[in-house]
Amino acid sequence: MAGKIVRFDTDARNAMLKGVDILANAVKVTLGPKGRNVVIDKSFGAPRITKDGVTVAKEIELEDKFENMGAQMVKEVASKTNEEAGDGTTTATVLAQAIAREGCKYVAAGMNPMDLKRGIDLAVEAVITKIKESSKKVKTSEEIAQVGTISANGEKEIGDMIAKAMQKVGNEGVITVEEAKGLSTELDVVEGMQFDRGYLSPYFITNADKMIAELEDPLIFITEKKLTNLQPMVPLLESVVQSSRPFLIIAEDVEGEALATLVVNKLRGGLKVVAVKAPGFGDRRKSMLEDIAILTGGQVISDDLGIKLENVKLKDLGQCKKIRVDKDNTTIVDGAGKKSEIEARCGQIRKQIEETTSDYDKEKLQERLAKLAGGVAIIKVGGATEVEVKERKDRVEDALNATRAAVQEGVVVGGGCALLYASEALNNLKPKGDDQKAGVEIIRKALQYPIRQITSNAGVDGSVIVGKIRILILVVVECQAEWVVWAEWVVWAEWECNSILSNKLSLKI
């Protein structure tokens, strides 16, 4: 067994901080409207060009183990931000680097790391509260388009397309992004459904980069039963293999020998299969499975109907154009069900909504109706080359995620100004002791890093901009009782280096 290398104190901190800096420095050049692209070498195929922070972070592995530990911690920050919000990964990386840098300085000066952490937690809570108070709701389609345009690096076509997609399927509707075969980027709305169940085993994944399973033109087996042994389904599975089509299993659960058999067949290439749990619980699960069956033109295999597993034929299976499964959700696109049956089912659900007296039941019925009637919007991203398509697809996905977040939680003034303004909330804190005060100061300094990086990427001195904004903040704070502050969040969309943006920040008496 190889021995472990152990490091302590400054030696360990410096090595890990070096790793943090290497990863953060590679990521932070992409921040802001004037951020640069990063070119990533691939072992096969063309290099990848991207401005997406988490994509850059995921590609970094360092040779030195201690430096790599630092890099991996920041990579985790970017990945978690991407999972939660879908965008803002570069800002999160810059903040993480700032906290690590400033924190190491105070620890080296002899301060207690645990008290520093308590001060940091206190400050973070105050900043989050302040940012939420400053947020402005996004309501109109025009505002949605503006958010999408800014997130797509100023490309108005993408912003307008996202707004149009949300208008068609609703703000909570399903919108997916795909690569187009042509040069142009198009929006297509098809009948489809998404439910909150992911793959039962990561071995079902077909796209390792995105950790998703994609099935083209699949057959869909729908049952409310728990599958522990696939022996009764052997005739059906043989028919599916002969059809050379992918296979999706939706069941109460697939476990033990049944799951192992499917995984082995998938790995050996005998059957391209994905298994997911059925959505919902109890009677609601039955209803949702019936919705899926009607949408896909299939049959729910149920004890209530007296259908045995060994008697299931290909004609009982549902069909659709495409299925996308990640660890949390399954999306069915363009089901083969009859339009008349889908409309009849929607009418039945609408009648149930009118008759129910329970707010909870009404909410769940409305969710089912939205999934069945709303459809799925597909943004097909085109381009002249594979490199261009992938780069543009990254921006569309970021813009879509940012727009969803904006609709759900609102927007604040951009360009790092909101973080700088939120730092004023730290003045009212009462930390215990000098070490906790230092923790608060770490956050105060860290909140300046994003705006400094944005201005630096645009070729402007960050200190000058921070100084100007601080003067505005002081005026606002001093005159808060008499002044109303309004900061339009599109302020950083029209950046011109000479005028430091066409700044729409205004103070109104």
DSSP letters, 307-376, are --GGG--GGGSEEEEEEEE-SS-EEEEEE-S-HHHHHHHHHHHHHHHHH---HHHHHHHHHHHHHHHH-E
Domain assignment of residue 349, yes or no: no
**pLDDT at residue 252, as a whole number:** 92
166 and 203 in a single domain? The answer is no
Domain assignment of residue 205, yes or no: yes
Q: Which two tokens stand for residue 402?
A: 């940012």
pLDDT in tens, 239-264: 999 999 999 999 999 998 999 999 99
Domain that holds residue 401: 139-191+375-411
pLDDT in tens, 249-303: 999 999 989 999 999 989 988 889 999 999 988 888 999 999 999 999 999 998 7
What is the tally of structural domains in the chain?
3
How many CA atoms are closer than 13 Å to the CA of 184, on its beta-carbon side?
5
Which CATH number is 324's domain given? 3.50.7.10
In whole angstroms, give the CA distance from residue 371 to residue 346: 10
Which CATH number is 157's domain given? 3.30.260.10
pLDDT in tens, 448-480: 999 999 999 999 888 888 888 877 776 655 554
205 and 328 in a single domain? The answer is yes
169 and 199 in a single domain? The answer is no
Do β-strands 484-487 and 186-190 pair in parallel, antiparallel, or remain unpaired?
A: unpaired
Domain boundary among the residues 307, 337, 367 is at 337
Residue 491 has pLDDT above 60, yes or no: no
Domain boundary among the residues 279, 307, 337 is at 337
Phi, psi of 411 (to 5 degrees): -130, 160
In contact, 437 and 447? CB cutoff 8 Å: no
154 and 73 in a single domain? The answer is no
**pLDDT at residue 488, as a whole number:** 40
Q: What percent of the chain has pLDDT over 90?
A: 50
Cβ count within 10 A of residue 92: 24
Domain assignment of residue 170, yes or no: yes
**pLDDT at residue 490, as a whole number:** 35
237 and 303 in a single domain? The answer is yes
310 and 398 in a single domain? The answer is no
197 and 332 in a single domain? The answer is yes
303 and 269 in a single domain? The answer is yes
Q: Scanning the structure block, which residue is given the tokens 């142009």?
A: 184
217 and 265 in a single domain? The answer is yes
Q: Scanning the structure block, which residue is given the tokens 């149920």?
A: 302
Phi, psi of 176 (to 5 degrees): -115, 155
**pLDDT at residue 476, as a whole number:** 57
**pLDDT at residue 33, as a whole number:** 87
pTM: 0.71
pLDDT in tens, 70-79: 999 999 999 9
**pLDDT at residue 461, as a whole number:** 87
Domain assignment of residue 354, yes or no: no
Domain assignment of residue 288, yes or no: yes
Domain assignment of residue 211, yes or no: yes
46 and 104 in a single domain? The answer is yes
Domain boundary among the residues 286, 307, 337 is at 337
Average pLDDT, the chain: 86
Which CATH number is 48's domain given? 1.10.560.10
pLDDT in tens, 35-84: 999 999 988 888 899 988 999 999 999 999 999 999 999 999 999 998 88
In contact, 175 and 379? CB cutoff 8 Å: yes
Mean predicted confidence (pLDDT) in 395-409: 89
336 alpha-carbon distance from chain centroid: 29
In whole angstroms, give the CA distance from residue 447 to residue 443: 6
Element (H, E) at 21: helix 9-28
Domain assignment of residue 224, yes or no: yes
256 and 381 in a single domain? The answer is no
pLDDT in tens, 91-138: 999 999 999 999 999 999 999 999 999 999 999 999 999 999 989 988
Q: Is 78 helix (H, G, I), strand (E, B) or coil?
A: helix
202 and 327 in a single domain? The answer is yes
In whole angstroms, give the CA distance from residue 21 to residue 197: 38
Distances (CA, A) of 80 to 2, 93, 293, 304: 32, 11, 35, 43
Q: Scanning the structure block, which residue is given the tokens 């594979």?
A: 386
Domain assignment of residue 494, yes or no: no
Write the CB contacts of 145 (distance below 8 Å, at least 6 apart in sequence). 156, 159, 160, 162, 163
Question: What is the band of 311 on the pLDDT scale with cuts at 50, 70, 90?
Answer: confident
In whole angstroms, give the CA distance from residue 383 to residue 390: 9
Q: Which two tokens stand for residue 341?
A: 């049956």
pLDDT in tens, 338-385: 889 988 998 899 899 888 888 788 878 877 887 787 767 889 999 999
